[in-house]
Each structure stands twice: as C-alpha cells, then as structure tokens.
Chains A and B, each alone.
Chain A
Amino acid sequence: MTLWALLLAPLATAAAICLAPARTAKWIATVGACTATAIAVLAALQFPHWTSETFWPDERGPEIFESLGVTFELGLDGVSMLMVLMTVLLVVVSVIGSFTAVTTREREYYAWFMVLESCVLLAFMARDAVLFYLGYEFTLIPMYFLIAIWGGPDRRPAAIKFFIFTFLASVVMLVGIVYVASRRAEHVGSWSFLIPDLISYASTQLTAQEQFWTFLALMIAFAVKTPFFPVHSWLPLAHDQAPTAGSVILAGALLKLGTYGAFRIGLPMAPLGGAELSQFFAVIAILGIIAAAMICWVQKDVKKLVAYSSVSHMGMLMLGMFALNPIGVQGSLIYFVNHGLSTGGLFLLIGMIYERHHTKDMDQLGGLARTMPVWSSFMIFFTLSSVGLPGLNGFIGEVLCLWGCFTSEHDAVSGYPGMLGPWFGIIAIVGLILGALYMLRMVGAIVWGTPKEPHHPHDGGDHGTRLPRDMSPREIGIMLPLAACCLLIGLYPKPILESMDPAVRAALVRYPDAVEKVLAERSEAEAAEASAQGTVTP
C-alpha cells in the first residue's frame, strides 16, 4: 500500500494543481513533493530487507494484460529504495528551486513535474519489465514539455532530439524484452513479464548468441539514456536548454533510469552477453570519460561544462559496472546517488547565477567570491564533491569503481573474474585527473579571478521577485540537505554499501561462471587459430 501511495501522491498532486488557481500551484507542488518524500521515508522505515536481496512487499500485483501476463507489481530492494529516496529528495529540491525561475504557465509546469516524479518512481519500483518500460518511457512526455516550454532559446530542437534519441533506443529495448518473454512463453507455456521470471529463464536457457543480442538490445536503450559517449549528443543540448529544475531531475533521476535498467535488467538477464561485451562497453566508457573531459576543456558555458562532465562521470560509473565484480558494481551504484546529488547541486547553483545575471558564460563571470560568498562556498563544496575529494561522496564512488576495475582480472581473488584489469583503471584515472582539472578551472574562473559582473539591464530579474545579491534563505534551504547528504555519504558510506551488497551479489550471481565460459571459449578459439596458423606456416 505504501508503494501505491508513493506512486499516486504525485499524480494526485498534479490533478490538484490543474484544478487550483495558478498562484497556488507552487505551494501545492511543494506540499505534494514533501508528501511523497514523507511516504518514501515511511517506506524506508518499514523496509525490512536492508540486509537481504528480497523484495518488499512480496505480493502479486493485479494483472493488467492477462493474455501477455503483464502485472502491475511493485517492489523495492536495497538499491531501488535508495533510488526512490534520492528521487523524492531531488524533486522537493527542484520544486522549491523553481519558485522564482518559473513564472509562466506555472500550473502546467508543476503538474508535469509531479507526473515526471511519478513516472520515475514507477520505473524504480516496477517488478514487471513492461511496467518498468512504462515508467521509463513516459518520462519522455513531461520532460519534453519541461524542456520545450520552459527551456532556453534552442529549447524545441533540444526537446525533439532528446525525445527521438531516447525513444528510438528504448523501443529496441522493448523488442529485446518481448523477445525474451516470447522465448520464455514458448518454453514454459504461459506469458510473464515479471523481471525475476525473465531473468531466471533468460540467464539459464538462452544460448550465448541469443544472450549477446538480448544484451545488446537492452544496452542500446540504456547506453543512450545513460548516456555513453558516441550516443551522448542529446544530453548536453537537453541539459543546456532545460530549465534548472529540469536539468537537476534529468541528471539526478532520468539518467539513472538508464544505469538502473542496466543493473536491474540488462546485467542479470544475459550474463553471457554481458561477459562477452564487457570489454567493449568498458572501452566505450573510457573513451567517454576522456573525450567528454576534453570537450569540457573548451566549453565557455558553465552549464554545458557540467553537462559534459556528467557524460564523463557516467563513463566512470559504467566502467565500474562492467568490472562485473561486487566492488565495481557497488561503486557504480553509489556513484548513481553521488552524481545525482553533486551534479544536481551544481545545476541548481548555476541556475541561481543565471537567474541573477542572465548568463552562463564563463568569460562574463568572475570574482563572485566577493559578491556572493555563500554561493561561492556551496559552489566549491559541490565541485569538490563532484571531482572526488576524499571525505566527500564523490570519492567513495570513484574509488570503488576504479578498485573494481583494477581487480577485474581473469584470476581475481574475489571469486568474480572480470575482463578488465589495471590498464583500464589507469587510463580511467587519466580521465579523472582531466576531470578534476577542468572543474577546478571553471570554479577558479568564476569564483575567483577578476571580478566581472555582466552588464544586464534588469538588475535582479525582471519578474517581480527581486532576488538578493547572494543566495536567499530559500535557496540556502534547498542546498543544505544536498550538501548534508554529500557529506554524510562521504564520511560514513558503510550503511549504504551494506544495504546494496545483497542486491549486487544477486545481480551478479551468474557472472563468475559466465565470464569463465567466455574466457574459455576465447582461449579455445585462440588455440584453434594458433594451431591453424601452425599448419599453414610450417
């Protein structure tokens, strides 16, 4: 019941916003977002399985499409609980953060935001693959409107590009899911789309080739959503053009749907495919880390820079995941949360600057430490969290991802052999160093540097609400919880790691065998090739 309430609370809020007068919209949305948070916290307090991989609540949902066995079944484990908590927190922050930034069509704005929250929560809570797809896919509609109506000057192309890229990829994922389900139906005799059913069938019964294609079909969707380097081009555009709160939720929740999907469905569904392709995706991930870091070097636009840094961070995250050992995957999961918090925080801070100075251009900003000391402190804090300063949250994720990557060797002592190894880790570290450099360069330029205040005619904004020179109490109020979470995770990550551990091990349960099988096949193929060459050249 709690989960149903969590799902319906934002929808009910959206309906209430549509019916109430426009000026109350933001307050209703705040109340709704806080209610959802309260329900989520309640669920977290009730949650009995922090230390096992069991899902809660363990009950069958109603069937919504009997002949295909599509079930409306919700459930949480340690990982999805964390995702839910992060989402509700980010929505509260984004809603309150939009109070002064959004002044046109307020009712629609907040209503779409609430619908978006509900979709994201549905995707995180779904136990049925079609239900997951439903939440995953429907996020496009609210996000499309959020970007296209309240975004920057190029908002419409950005929104269309976002929509089409993601839709094309995710429809391929749907084919993959339905393929697995149809094979299972052939085998078992009845249709089901429940994720555990599909996983237990696909991971054991499908041939290596089928698993390869299934994994590829699923990962195409998740790679675009995450996004991986060559298919990332929608993200900087969407981030740049989206309103601040849209960027926050895009970075914090929507991108996570891709990585969460890879973790929840992609990896466990097709272990042979995952093992076969892990090197390929790891190489792309590293390419992404480095290429995005280099693109960041030449960015003048602060928001774009943070957006590209997102691409770079997502590469690191996926590298950890494709280490295929518990440490790496845990690192990537905790990276989810960290990236949501710190990038979300950075986008909010940049949004505040934009509201005041109407520019995001690094050349026009400078020396803000003097005029906006509070803002500058937060900016430095979140930048450090983003680049992975020990003691803050980013560090934990990065270190675990790299550790996973380093130990992901053929003969790993952890019992989880992998396909990567120290070389992957070393190159990724180069990317990380580049990342730290450009982030610090950006902060250096706008926080310190020569004091520059861009010339703008309407001082403090032209929409009635005069903003103070530095951050207002409302703005400080939304940054504080984010900062507190960053610090908490950085200093004491143990409970989170412990709660993730069982789910991670459950997801990886078939991997040691699968990796060994793939390795054995490869060495056999090599041996065959060598012997063939031996016979040809006497």
Chain B
Amino acid sequence: MSMPFAERLVLLVPEMVLLAGAIVVSVMGLSSRGIVRAIVPWATIAALAGSLVAVVMVHRPELAASADLPIPMLGLFARGLLAAIGIGLVLITMGSVDRPLERAFAKGLAPFDPMRVLGGEFHAFMLFSIAGAMLVTVASDLVWLFLAIELSSLPTYIMVATSRGSRLAQEAAVKYFFLGAMSTAILLYGFAMLYGATGSMELLAIEEAMTSGAAESSIAVLGIILVILALGFKITAVPMHFYAPDVYEGAAISTTSFLSFVPKATGLFVLMTVLAAVGWSADAAPASLPPEAGKVLWMVAALTMTLGNLGGLLQRSIKRMLAYSSISHSGYMLVGIVAGPQFGGFDATLFYLLTYGVTNLAVFGAIASIERQGSEIDSFDDLAGLRVRHPWASAMLAIGAASLIGMPPLLGFWGKLDLFAAGLDAGHVVLVVILAVNSAISVWYYLRLIGLPIIAPAGPRTEGLESSPSRFPLLAAVVAGLGTVLLPIMLGSLVDAASVAGPTAIEDASPQAAVTAP
C-alpha cells in the first residue's frame, strides 16, 4: 500500500532475471546449431546464479519491511535457497538429453525437430517454475499469491509430460495435471472464504481483520483448512499425496528431482505466508491459529510422516521409494509449522528444507549418474554391488541416505534436531515422538540405499550399468554429498540465514547476515 511501485519492482529483480533467462533459454533451444543448444544449461545456471546474487543484493530488511509482507525476510532465505538448489537441479538434467537423437541430428540422419530435443523449453520451464516459487515469498495479497503458485505449477505439468518419451510420463502428467487442477480449485475456494471472512485480499489487512475478531468466524476457519488441504497437494501431504509415487515414477529422474524440491518448497512457503497472515505469526502477540486448523495441521503432519514411511517400506522401485520418502519428509517439515513461528518452528522448517534439498540432490544426482543402455535405473536390484564400478555414486547414495535417516553429524541430523527442539518447545511431545519413531522406521528402507551398493555382491544386473555420458549429475551429487558432510561446520551461519520467520528476524537481518545466505 505504502510502497512506491518502483521500489516494489526492485524487490522483484531476482524473478525478473529468471524470467528473462527463461526467454533467452527457450529461444536458444530452438537453434539448429548444436553448440548453441549445448550452452542452454549453462545459460540456465547463469540465470539462477544471477538471481541468487540479485536476491542477496535487493532483499534488504528495510525494503522488505515496507513491502506489506506477512513474513518480510522469508524471501531472502527462500529465494536464495531455491536459486542455489536450482543450480544443482539443472546439473542433474544435463544427463537426460535424448542423446541418440542429438547425434542423429548432428550427422544429418534425422531432420531437426525442436520438439524432441530436450533443450530450451525444458530449461525455460524450470526457470519459470522457480520464478513462480520465488514470487510466492514476496506476494502481498491473495491474488498475487495465487498467480505465483500457478506460475510455479503449470510448467511442472509440462515438464513431467515431456521429460521422456515413455508412456509412463504421459500417464503421470495427466494424473498430475488433473489432481493439480483439483487442488488449485480447493485453494481458490479457501482463498475466497478468507476474503469473505476478512473482507480483504491484502495479506496484512487479513492479519489485522483476523486479530480483531474475524478469526472467530467459521468461514475463516474453513478457509484456512481448505488452504492447508490444497497446499497438501504441493507438499505431498496426506490426504493429497496419492499422486506422488506414480508421478515420481513416471517422470524422468531429472524431473523427479525437480518435483521433489521446488513444488514442495513452494507449498511450504505459501503455507507459512498464509498462516502468518491469519495470525500464526511471530509478530502477533500471542501467535494464534484457530484450534480446528491447528488440529488439522497436527493430524496432517502425523499422518503424512507415518503413511509416507509405511509406504516406503513396501517399494521395489527406487523412485517410488524416494517419492514416499519425500512424503514423509514433508510430514517432518510440517512439525515445524505446527510448532509455530514463536518457538522457531518456521525457522526450523526452513532450515530442514535446506538440509533436505542438499541431501536430496546427492541421492538424485547419484541415481541420475548411472544408466542402462540409455535408460535410467529404477530397481533396487540395479544397485547391488554398485561400488565396484561406480564408487562415487554409491558413496554419495550412502551419504545421502544416512543424512535422510538423520544420522549425526550429517546435515540431516541437525535439521531434525532443530525440528525436535521447536516441537518440544511448543509442547507437542506426542508429535515429536511420532517424528522420532518415524525416522527410525525410515531406517529400514534407507539402509537399502546404503547397504545394497556397498555391501551386496555385484549381480548380473549391475554388470550392464554404465555411467551416464554426462558427468554433471555426478558432479551435482558429489558437491551436494560433500555439502552434506561439510556444511555442518558452518551450521551457525546456515541456521542464522534460515531464521527469517522468528520473533527477532528483522533485527537479526542486518546486511552482514544477509551475505551468509546460501
């Protein structure tokens, strides 16, 4: 309201960099010259790196504070994280270009067909989706929020469909799209109810209306619950998680790794923003959530982690297992949201998102770095004895899995410790015990990722495996794996960077702290 348009635009420079990058990249992908197409991933990375720098430069506390945002500093950490992890995700996609077709083009054996080269548009969609995810964190009203969510979601439907030639991908895309459309409808319904209860689309005005009595109205409560359920689709939370295993399995591994991070982060950011706007905020004294909504969140968190882990136990496919694993990690992250910002719960969730993002890159990168005759591996049997021929990939799988278990001193453990602390601080002992037991259940299936590659003897299936021609997925895995091991050394600054939603976030967010964002 109070902010001049030009200043608001300054806050959006990172997204503008990404959108410009997306357009450049999609045009470059149309070039018939192989060298130009080969630059596409690098241009994508450059756009992400540019927006990372832009985030750190423009997201200054005083600027953010006057932008009418419910969580002013969320954008600094969230957008930085999205850009940084996004670079790793681009590296993983570099292994998935349709190489036989590319070679055929180069030799003139096949006519150039821009639709069938996994190049420009795919990377452009990635950038669009990440830009949408970033926009969410600087949205000041419900319409903007909704449009940002859609900008983040729509490209992912197409990414699933075009990620590989297989029928499975088409099927996955259709499922993903229809369920996504349904969740969008529910979300809009929830937003409409919030508007009806508070009379405003502006998030800060909603916050004001909620504190002055609108929170009592059952329409507002229903609106909040609908928003929670709809966002459950984005973050693969029960009861909206059903699509995840099918879609993760159907999409190519590069898209799966994207799906396991960016939409999930988007959903969590939106959830935090909306909940902060309805009073679940550190600024509000006391922070409060309608009790029904709190109960729903509690149950969603408990069910998500439990069902996710139980599902993970039963899988024979690596990607389905990872889908269930990502469901259960969403449940863990919801514990921080249930705990609430005044106990550092949002900060814990954000920090956990960082640990999860880095660790997931290691696992997905390692799996993407191996293939059989040009197609990706998907069965646990493929992993047996991997260490003999692919020592780095198997080491990164083991490190990633150990960190997902929450094995100290790897990065994942510290994320979980932070969640434990926030949950217990807020008095949710039962929920934290459920979280603890769940992380023990998950050991059962994560141990396969550690044990099969390193311990089991190499079977006949392993013999047929070869490294994917592009070494970049493995590079992403190794960098992320090293990060999983070494980042705990700079734990203090990482946690500080993630502390953007707590009570003291604005005072803490001095320019010096801003530099330490990832």
B418 and A175 contact, CB distance less than 8 A: no
B451 pairs with A160, CB closer than 8 A:
yes
Q: Contact flags (1/0) for B4-18 with A, using CB distance below 8 Å?
A: 000000000000000
Q: Flag if A175 contacts B414 (CB, 8 Å).
A: no
Nearest opposing residue in chain A for B441, CB measure: A168
In the complex, the chain B residue whose C-beta lies closest to that of A175 is B436
A395 within 8 A of B: no
- Whether the pair A163, B429 counts as a contact (CB closer than 8 A) is no
Q: Which residue of B lies closest to A138 (CB)?
A: B408
The answer to whether A167 touches B408, judged by C-beta atoms less than 8 angstroms apart, is no
- B425, A156: Cβ atoms closer than 8 Å: no
Taken residue by residue from 148 to 176, chain A's Cβ proximity to chain B (1 for < 8 Å, 0 otherwise) reads as: 11000000100110011001100110110
Taking a contact as CB atoms under 8 Å apart, the answer to whether A175 and B433 are in contact is: yes
**Measured between alpha carbons, how far is A6 from B333 in the docked complex, in Å?**
37
Contact, CB under 8 Å: B491 / A168? no
With A65-B414, A148-B451, A164-B440 in contact, is A178–B421 under 8 Å at CB?
yes
Counting CB contacts under 8 A, is B492 at the interface?
Answer: yes
On chain A, the residues within 8 Å of B492 by CB distance are 63-67
Residue of A nearest to B488 (CB): A64
CB distance from A46 to the nearest CB of B (A): 28
The contact size tier of chain A is 35 or more
Q: Does A27 contact B (CB under 8 A)?
A: no
Could you tell me if A172 and B436 are in contact, using CB atoms closer than 8 angstroms? Answer: yes
Binds B, one of A31-39, A129-137, A336-344: A129-137
Find chain B residues with CB under 8 A from A181 CB: 421
| Interface 0/1 of B375-416, CB less than 8 Å to A | 000000000000000000000000000100111110001100
Q: Does B455 contact A (CB under 8 A)?
A: yes
Interface SS, B side: helix
Task: Find out whether the CB atom of A168 lies under 8 angstroms from the CB atom of B437.
Answer: yes
Beta-carbon contact of A171 and B439 below 8 Å: yes
Are A186 and B425 neighbours in the complex by a CB distance under 8 Å? yes
| CB within 8 Å for A66 and B408 given contacts A149-B455, A164-B444, A175-B424 | no
Any A CB within 8 A of the CB of B454 = yes
**A67, A137, A175 pick with most chain B CB within 10 angstroms:** A67
Residue A228, interface by CB 8 Å:
no
Interface status of A113 (Cβ within 8 A of chain B): no
Contact A66 B495, beta carbon cutoff 8 Å: yes
Q: Which single residue of chain B is at the shortest CB-CB distance from A66? A: B492
Instruction: Give the residues in chain A near B408, CB-CB below 8 Å.
Output: 130, 133-134, 137-138
Which one of B405, B418, B432, B451 contacts A156 once the chains associate, using CB atoms below 8 Å?
B451
* Given A66-B495, A137-B408, CB of A175 within 8 Å of CB of B417: no
Q: Do the beta carbons of A160 and B417 come within 8 Å of each other?
A: no
Asked whether A172 and B491 contact (CB < 8 A) given A145-B454, A178-B420, A178-B421, the answer is no
A159-B402 Cα distance, complex, nearest whole Å = 15
The answer on a CB contact under 8 Å between A174 and B436 is: yes
Q: Which residue of B405, B414, B417 has the most chain A CB atoms within 10 A of its CB atom?
A: B417
Does A20 belong to the interface (CB within 8 Å)? no
* Cβ-defined contact, A68 with B455, below 8 A: no
In the bound assembly, the distance between CA atoms of A168 and B447 in angstroms comes to 13
Closest Cβ–Cβ distance, residue B476 to chain A (whole Å): 23
Question: CB of B468 within 8 A of chain A?
Answer: no
Which chain A residue shows the least CB distance to B344?
A: A67
Q: Which residues of A contact B414 (CB under 8 A)?
A: 65
Candidates B344, B424, B432, B491; contact of A65 at CB < 8 Å: B491
A208 to chain B, nearest CB (A): 17
Q: Once the chains bind, are A138 and B407 in contact (CB under 8 Å)?
A: yes
**Given A140-B407, A178-B424, A179-B424, A65:B444 Cβ within 8 A:** no
**Residues of B close to A175: CB separation below 8 A:** 420, 424, 429, 432-433, 436
- Asked if A167 contacts B440 (CB within 8 A), the reply is yes
The CA of A67 and the CA of B437, in the complex, are separated in Å by 25
Q: Which residue of A lies closest to B424 (CB)?
A: A182
**Is A179 touching B451 in the complex (CB atoms < 8 A)?**
no
Task: Give the CA-CA distance A371 to B433 in the complex, in Å.
Answer: 57
CA distance A63 to B490 in the complex (A): 11
Which listed residue (B407, B421, B439) contacts A182, Cβ 8 A?
Answer: B421
Bound-complex Cα distance A65 to B414 (A): 9
Closest CB of chain B to A184's CB: distance in Å?
11
A435 to B420, CA, bound (A): 43
List the A side residues contacting B424 at CB < 8 Å: 175, 178-179, 182
A437 within 8 Å of B (CB atoms): no
- A selection of 19 A-B contacts at a CB cut-off of 8 Å is A65-B491, A66-B495, A67-B495, A134-B413, A137-B408, A138-B407, A138-B408, A144-B451, A156-B455, A159-B455, A164-B440, A164-B447, A167-B405, A167-B443, A171-B437, A171-B440, A174-B436, A178-B421, A179-B432
Contacts A67-B344, A67-B492, A67-B499 known; list 10 others, CB within 8 Å.
A64-B492, A138-B408, A144-B450, A156-B456, A159-B455, A163-B447, A164-B440, A164-B444, A179-B432, A181-B421
**Footprint of A on B, CB under 8 Å?**
344, 402, 405-409, 413-414, 417-418, 420-421, 424-425, 429, 432-433, 436-437, 439-440, 443-444, 447, 450-451, 454-456, 488, 491-492, 495-496, 499
Interface residues of A, Cβ cutoff 8 Å to B: 63-68, 70, 130, 133-134, 137-138, 140-141, 144-145, 148-149, 156, 159-160, 163-164, 167-168, 171-172, 174-175, 178-179, 181-182, 185-186, 191
